[in-house]
Structure formats: C-alpha cells, structure tokens
Amino acid sequence: MIVNAHNPSQWHGVAVLIRKDIDFAEVNFDLGLCETRDDNRSNDPKTGRLIAFEVNNIVFIATYSPNSGKYLSYRIDQWDKYLFIALMKIKKPIIDINVSPYPIDVSDPKKMVKWAGFTPEERESFSSFMKRSKMIDIWRKQHPKEIKYSYRGSRGSCGMRLDNIIVSPRTRTPSH
C-alpha cells in the first residue's frame, strides 16, 4: 500500500492498494512550479494529492484534485497546468483525473454547471490537455453513450462520472 496523507488528515489524501505479488516502484512525480495552497499547509503541493508508481514500465498516477469551488483559479492556473506538463514527459502514463468532461457525465448539466468537477473552466482545461496529449478517456472510449456515475451526491440526488482513467496512446488498451 502507498499512502500520501495530508496533515490534518481529515482534509484529503490519496492511497493505492497493490497486491503483494506485484512488483512496483514509487515514482517521484515532479509538479514543477506548482505553488503551495492555503488548504495544504505544506511546502509540497502534492501532499495529500498525488501518488505515482510504476508497474511493467507503465506509470500509474492517482490524484485527488484540488476542489475547484474556492480554489478554481488554483486548479486551472497551477494544478492542471503543471500536472499536464509533467504528464507529457512520461511515456506510458495512466492517470485518474477528477473531472466530468461531458454533459453525459452528470445527471443535470444545466443545474450542475458551476459544481466542482464540471465547471466550464475545468472541462476546457481537461479538453485542451486531451487534444494536445492525444490521451484516451478509456471508459468513455469503450462506452461512448453509456450513463454511469462514480460519485453520487447527498441522498443520491445527483450523479457525476468524476473519476476518469485516461491513458497514453502508447499504452496498450483493450479493444471493445
């Protein structure tokens, strides 16, 4: 298990469980000039936000993106910018990115347009990166019209496909 906890721990953190029989190596994932947020209290902007490890020459990255409500400008101008620059340097990345990129990915696009994870700014940032990098939203590629959500709001009143796994085009992907 790899854990990247935040202090205080109730704010956020990321963890990955790996079977004991799988050989892996942690990867030092440099976010470059990304600044420290006031919700982090750490000199390292990745604290509680990012884990990177390698298995069979593929780098897996798990993220917990900064909440875009209060921190929308930080999310777009710092976090996304430097995360996407760092991703472009990896040959075979697979990453979990928190955004609902398409209207089909939320239960009520008109009502939810200002929700964290579905703001126009986040979707544009994600879309721009996907075009430049040619990375693939693996689930949406295999299920182009299917409506499924990885997040349900309070009392199940809303849904978002918020946890996206995107892969490098150089990574072999299953055909459908």
Q: Which of 80, 96, 105, 137 is catalytic?
A: 96
Residue 41 · residue 10 · CB < 8 Å: no
First-to-last C-alpha distance (Å) of the chain: 31
Beta bridge partners of 61: 52, 95
Whether 96 is catalytic = yes
**Residue 64 bears catalytic tag:** yes
CB burial readout 48-81, b (16+ within 10 A) else e: bbbbbbeeeebbbbbbbbbbbeebbebbbebbbb
Active site residue: 64, 74, 80, 105, which one? 64
Grouping H, G, I as helix, E, B as strand and the rest as coil, residue 122 is: helix
- The angle subtended at Cα 153 by Cα 152 and Cα 159, nearest 5°, is 45
Residues designated catalytic:
64, 96
